[in-house]
Amino acid sequence: MKTLAELAALRDKMKDKVALREGTGEKRIVVGMATCGIAAGARPVLNAFVVAINEAGLTGNVTVTQTGCIGICQYEPVVEVYESGKEKVTYVKMTSEKAQKVIEEHIKGGRPVKEYTIGEIKH
């Protein structure tokens, strides 16, 4: 390492890797991972979110974590998106493909994907 620029580049690259330990980001994606969720396929969904957040370089702002059963087992896999100051958005019957769209439109774009939310599916 011979220049400050090289040091800064390495720091920026490594920052994403340790960002996980900085505490919770501004946005939290919570995947239901109780028995019902796992049986319905929550693990691939969780991993899809983790991969997408990492690839988008959003690890500093967005935290992906799990939770237990919230009682709507028939709608699993359930994914909830929390953002401070905003109402929680609950996505149901999620898949890895749907996860991509949520990342693009909701997490990056700030527009919840209405057709996947619990209100839409129920009706």
Residue 61 within binding range of other proteins, rule CB under 8 A: no
User: SS3 string of the chain?
Assistant: CCCHHHHHHHHHHHHHHHHHHHCCCCEEEEEECCHHHHHCCHHHHHHHHHHHHHHCCCCCCEEEEEECCCCCHHHCCCEEEEECCCCCEEECCCCHHHHHHHHHHHHHCCCCCHHHEHHHHHC
Query: Does residue number 21 form part of the binding site for other proteins (CB under 8 A)?
Result: yes
Interface with other proteins, residue 33, by CB under 8 A = yes
46 near other proteins, rule: CB under 8 A: yes
Residue from the set 63, 75, 77, 98 that interacts with other proteins by CB under 8 A? 63
User: Residue 35, interface with other proteins (CB under 8 A)?
Assistant: yes
Name which position in 39, 57, 61, 68 contacts other proteins (CB under 8 A). 68
Count of residues interacting with other proteins (CB under 8 A): 35
The phi and psi torsions of 62 (rounded to 5 degrees) equal -120, 130
Name the residues that contact other proteins, by CB under 8 A: 1-4, 7-8, 10-11, 14-15, 17-18, 20-21, 23-25, 30-31, 33-35, 37-38, 46-47, 50-51, 54, 63-68
